[in-house]
Amino acid sequence: MTQRSKQNYVVQSVSHAIDVLEAFKGEKDELGVTELSSSLRLPKNNVFRLLATLELRGYIEQNKSTGNYRLGIKTFELGQIFRRRMGLIKQSHSVLKQLEAKCNESTYLGIIQDGMVVYVDMVETTHSVRIVPKLGKRAPAYCTAVGKTQLAYESQDEVARILGEIGLKPFTNNTITDKQQLLEHLKQVARQGYAIDNEELEEEVICVAVPIRDYTGRVVAGISISGPIQRMSDKRIKNELVAMVREAAGEISCRLGYVP
């Protein structure tokens, strides 16, 4: 069944309930009924009924002192179930820790979903100056190292389809927003076996990533090292970090059954 045909089976109230939950993906931990009504473009009465239902099931809770709402414990429980069941995370977490210990920079594991990178696991550096943790966050694949190192092994038709859906929005002056230039860049990534995010998503943040393969040889994820520009010089990346992240990706791939 295609995505388009599935639209015929959408239950609107369920869709709105999910919209309420996803409204909490932003910077604010708590949101009020008026704010939710405005951002979701739903009547306050509808929003209140959705919140009441989600609160009864434990997915939303109300802060009694402010009257605002926040995510409930059930959302955390579901996230933990997902983490436990995802073999990729189980096999990679210890490798992420080892990689962080070697380079003393934050390490990430990311997968691509609907053209967006989802950071599903990470180990944070002990440096006082560090990158804000991205765990659970989504970012366009075309301007992240983890995303590019996976897109590079997709067909041009598939990449074109993804870009057609999400577009090429500039986030910094370094973001590649020309489709042909990006396709050529991805060919280079595939040839060299690693990708670099050179301040393409966030200014003063540089990442280097390598793809992870499963037992079929298919690229299923990417692993990256991320750090502030002051510590991520070209020399350090090429002489030190690329080899480290390659070794880590190779270890995880072997654990997933990949035989080079």
Q: Going residue by residue through the chain, which has 260 residues, state the pLDDT in tens, using 9 for 90 and above.
A: 455 556 667 788 898 999 999 898 877 889 999 999 998 999 999 999 999 999 999 999 999 889 999 998 888 888 766 655 567 888 889 999 999 999 999 999 999 988 999 998 999 887 766 666 567 778 999 999 999 999 999 998 999 999 988 999 999 999 999 999 999 999 999 999 999 999 999 999 999 999 999 888 889 999 999 999 999 999 999 999 999 999 999 999 988 888 88
pLDDT, position 10: 72
Domains of the chain, first to last: 8-77 (1.10.10.10), 86-255 (3.30.450.40)
pLDDT, position 74: 87
> Are 246 and 210 a contacting pair, CB within 8 Å?
yes
pLDDT, position 91: 84
Strand boundaries in the chain, DSSP class E: 60-62, 69-71, 106-113, 116-123, 138-140, 195-198, 205-213, 219-228
Dihedral sign, Cα of residue 235, residue 236, residue 237, residue 242: positive
pLDDT, position 187: 95
Q: Which residues pair with 109 in a beta bridge?
A: 121, 223
- Rounded Cα distance between 148 and 139, Å, is 11
- Rounded Cα distance between 166 and 231, Å, is 31
pLDDT, position 238: 93
pLDDT, position 228: 92
- Rounded Cα distance between 147 and 248, Å, is 17
pLDDT, position 4: 56
pLDDT, position 82: 66
pLDDT, position 86: 62
pLDDT, position 130: 60
> Are 105 and 231 a contacting pair, CB within 8 Å?
yes
pLDDT, position 141: 94
pLDDT, position 215: 82
